[in-house]
Amino acid sequence: MSQTRKKNSSDGETKPGTSFVNKFLRGSKLMSSKAESRKESNDLATTDFQPSYDAQKTATLDTAQPLTSDEEWGSRMEKNEQFLQKLGRTAVDKCLDLNNCRLTAADVREVVALLPFLPDLEKLDISWNDSVGGNLHSITQQMHLVSKLKILRLGSCRLTTDDVRALGEALEVILELKELNLSWNSEVGGNLPLTLQKFQEGSKIQTLELVDCDLTSEDGAFVGQLLPMMQNLEVLDLSINRNIGASLNSIAQGLKSTSNLKVLKLHSCGLSQESVKLLDAAFRSLCELKKLDLSCNRELGGGFEDSSAQLATLEHLEVLDLHQCSLTADDVMSLTQVIPLLSSLQELDLSANKKMGSSSENLLSRLRFLPALKSLLINSCALESETFTALAEASTYLPALEIFDLSWNKCVGGNLKLLLETLKFLGSLRVLRLSSCGLVTEDVALLASVIHTGHLAKLRELDLSYNDSICDAGWAIFCQNVRFLKELTELDISLRPSTSRDCGQWFRHLLCAVAKFSEITEIGMKRWILPTSQEEELEHFHQDHRCSIHFDLGEFQ
């Protein structure tokens, strides 16, 4: 969870473009000429570059005084430019992205001063800034100046109850809003009606994200009542709100009115066996659904036994995540009849369901009917010889596969040859994870031969960590051939936490191979001990190549 919370919620850096200040500086020149013209002809016309009169009147400095002259106007714009330069950001086109800028309370006041200059603003992202909490009201008071706003992101801002209330009042004037993200704000929980009660029937909201907001069962019931008013909703994320499982009946009823929904995320929401039945009834109305995440609901196990029929009606479903759901043998049997019918499926995650190991032979065998599958995660499923064999045979019918994770399935060790045909023909494979699979020297030698023939040329991430049974000779064969993975960006050959080992002569082969890579950035080698001579080789490597490759040796670095 901590990793999730720390993760940058931005979609990426804003693209270079003309900053709003430059635009308005051009506008200020026109404004001056217009002012002269007004003196001569009393013409009150304005230019396209100027904010509205209301915006000018409302614009404030730190002293909260209105801007009354061209000189003050220009001074304010210069301060705005300096403020954004300090943060390393710009207001590009109709977007102001201050996500994760470590804003202070003073910075929040500067944001308030910016808004009057952005009457056409459509996206405002101030997520991951703790100081917004307790100060949001100063921003919401100016929301009427950015009434064209379509995207508002306030994730992880430590919002207070007063902030939540103020936001609710402001949303009443932002009629064009299509996306609202309040994730990771615990005070939203118990106060959700204060924020969303102003949503009217026919709301334009398409995306609503309330991840880890400490929502109560009453909040969940409120969401259920609200959903019929949001018929344009396409993305609903209520993940990591463990109390809403108790109100899933209301949510499921509301979902029946959201026929445009494309993404439904209920990860770690305290769902039970009964929840599956409730959702199954709602699936009939979600014919456009493309992504369904029910993962990390451990009480869900057993719920699919008699309640998965409607899941098969989701003919557009592309992503199904059921990892860590304690699936039972009967669940697997039921899903065996359903999953192969999801012909549009591109991503399937069944990982961390231990009981799949002895009961999933038929299910895994029938994955061959999913030719569009790009990502298959079966890690930590306690696969047995028969189930692994079925998976290996089916995987040869998955030509689009890009991500394949078999980690923590010990049966793979000594049996990697079963995947030989798969590895030969998966030309699109980008990620292969075989961590803690009990691999032996024979396995890694086989993998090296496949690499040598160029069958895995597109591979970007390879995880062979925690396979301590591979001897130095095996690692030498592998490192001599890894140079053929020219697009590799990450490689992990770390040892288990309980062990450590001297690095063999194969390390020199690895350095020679890496020297030819243009994109690799990370090599995991935790608990491999480099003797002094190899430490010197590594140092010379960094000096000679001046590259940014990180060799992670853990505590032995």
Q: In the 3-class helix/strand/coil scheme, how is 289-320 assigned residue by residue?
A: CCEEECCCCHHHCCCCCCCCHHHHHCCCCCEE
Residue 378 structure tokens: 């079966």
Ramachandran assignment for 64, one of left (phi > 0), alpha (psi -120 to 50 degrees), beta (any other): left
For CA atoms 132, 137, 138, 141, the dihedral sign is positive
CA-CA-CA-CA dihedral for 169, 174, 202, 151, to nearest 10: -110
DSSP string, 227-292: GGG-TT--EEE--S-TTGGGGHHHHHHHHTT-TT--EEE-TTS---HHHHHHHHHHHTT-TT--EE
Q: Per CATH, is 402-556 categorized as 3.80.10.10?
A: yes
pLDDT of residue 58: 39
- 3-state secondary structure (DSSP) of residue 179: strand
Interacting residues of 154 by C-beta distance below 8 A, sequence separation 6+: 126, 127, 132, 136, 167, 181, 182, 185
Residue 335 CA, chain-centre distance (Å), reads 26
Assigned token pair, 141 = 């008071």
CA separation for the pair 469, 474 (Å, rounded): 10
CB–CB of 305/336 below 8 Å?
no
What's the pLDDT at 23? 40
Quote the tokens at residue 333: 């049997």
The per-residue pLDDT for 57 is 36
What is the identity of the amino acid at 398?
L
From first to last of its 557 residues, what are the pLDDT tens digits of the chain? 444 444 443 444 433 344 444 443 333 333 333 334 433 433 333 333 333 434 333 333 343 445 556 666 667 667 777 777 777 777 666 999 999 999 999 999 999 988 888 889 999 999 999 999 999 999 999 999 999 999 999 999 999 999 999 999 999 889 999 999 999 999 999 999 999 988 877 789 999 999 999 999 999 999 999 999 999 999 999 999 999 999 999 999 999 999 999 999 999 999 999 999 999 999 999 999 999 999 999 999 999 988 777 899 999 999 999 999 999 999 999 999 999 999 999 999 999 999 998 899 999 999 999 999 999 999 999 999 999 999 999 999 999 999 999 999 999 999 999 999 889 888 899 999 999 999 999 999 999 999 999 999 999 999 999 999 999 999 999 999 999 999 999 999 999 999 999 999 999 999 999 988 889 999 999 999 999 999 999 999 988 876 788 999 987 55
Query: How far is residue 470's CA from residue 321's CA, in Å, rounded to a whole number?
Result: 33
Q: What is each CA distance from 516 to 186, 482, 487, 488, 513, in whole angstroms?
A: 49, 10, 10, 11, 6
Query: What pLDDT is stored for residue 88 in this prediction?
Result: 75
How far is 17 from 437, CA to CA, in rounded Å?
Answer: 49
Question: What is the pLDDT, as a whole number, of residue 249?
Answer: 96
